[in-house]
Amino acid sequence: MSAPPAAPLSAKAALARLIAFPTVSAASNLDLLDWVETTLAPLGARFRRFPSPDGTKANLFASIGPDAPGGLVLSGHTDVVPTAGQDWSGDPFVMREDNGRLIGRGATDMKGFLACCIAAAQSVATLPLVKPLHLAFSYDEEVGCTGVWPMAEWLGGSGLSPQLAVIGEPSSLQVIDAHKGGLIGWTTVTGKPGHSSQPDRYVNAVMVAGELIAFINGLRREFAAGGRHEGLDPPYSTIQVNIINGGLHGNIVAESCRFFWEMRVIPGVDAHDVLARIEDFARVTLEPAMKAIDPGCGIAFEVQAHIPPLAPNADRGAETMLMDLVGQTTPLKVPYGTEAGIFQRFGTPAVVCGPGDIAQAHQPDEFIEEAELEHCVALITRLAEERLCSVT
């Protein structure tokens, strides 16, 4: 057990340092991770990084306490959404205070939680730990939870077997034990252009895309009448097309059409199975007629991001204790996705619970209440006392 620094950082001070790193998803987060390692190293923390393919970003996994199975994971993403085009009243990357509110990009989503983790770690390191506290900081959450996968997969196979991973997305410190999963992507239809006076000689990509979108709309109706997960709003899976572009001119058979689709599926539904149904309809029903006119025609699918759903954990021990500490009797369920489903997919029980109001996420003059940061630090410390200092 290592002693904390002589002058430990408060959550407020840590948040100011974190906000100062402009870690929008298009930028590197390595300087932020360097600062986190420097801050936690005096606590005896052990570090492992998971670099992005191009080496410009990384996930950071830090462990405090004994190198033993069990323990808790506190996880959050280091990237923030851009500020361009938003009406900020000051520099988004310089934290400001206003009547108890701490203002800056990422204050709520979700550098506030990261700051709480860092502040609480300094107290937790002084406890008689028999199980470790792990901090798992990820990259590229804001572009579809694409960065955390290798870290979550490694954790699931590492033998560390954490009791629970708490993903600190803003939930007003309420525990969320279920959310929908997501799969998003693009479909490109390639047809054969020609004069619209003789359309049967050619392949109209817009018309083919329309047939495929109609099939997707049929799935939407099927989901609404099908399986349900009560507590979610709506309690069934959804699918829709939100962007479409195609065609060049009013009297030219469209050569190309491209559309964006998204699905949000309830726990128990595999989004890839849904996509397979769409792809099968394209291959079996639509493409043969297209290729009979020109073999170069076809339909291509591109998955942009996949977020697994989060289901209630089988072992509710640590989760129940967390709920007791926040004064909650029933866990919440939400329709959006988080990295929690990815940790759970690889065998780590997970919930969502973090400071701040989700309504503040991505907003100009984003803020979090200083009092809520202090409450979160106390909550983490108490949870560590209850779950990490006992062999049971």
Measure the CA–CA gap between 95 and 156, rounded to whole angstroms: 36
Q: Which of 15, 32, 20 is nearest to 102 (CA)?
A: 15
Single out the catalytic residue among 79, 142, 365, 370: 79
Sheet of strand 72-77: strand arrangement:
46-51, 58-64, 133-138, 72-77, 164-167, 350-352, 176-179, 332-334
- Which residue, chain included where needed, has tokens 């402009």? 22
State the pairing for strand pair 133-138/164-167: unpaired
| Residues 140/146, Cβ–Cβ less than 8 Å | yes
Measure the CA–CA gap between 204 and 76, rounded to whole angstroms: 46
Measure the CA–CA gap between 135 and 49, rounded to whole angstroms: 12
DSSP secondary-structure letter at 286?
I
| Residues 352/333, Cβ–Cβ less than 8 Å | no
- Which residue, chain included where needed, has tokens 């906000």? 19
Single out the catalytic residue among 109, 141, 339, 365: 141
Measure the CA–CA gap between 271 and 263, rounded to whole angstroms: 7
Catalytic, 357? Answer: no
At residue 54, the 3 state secondary structure works out as coil
Catalytic, 79? Answer: yes
**Active site amino acids:** 79, 141
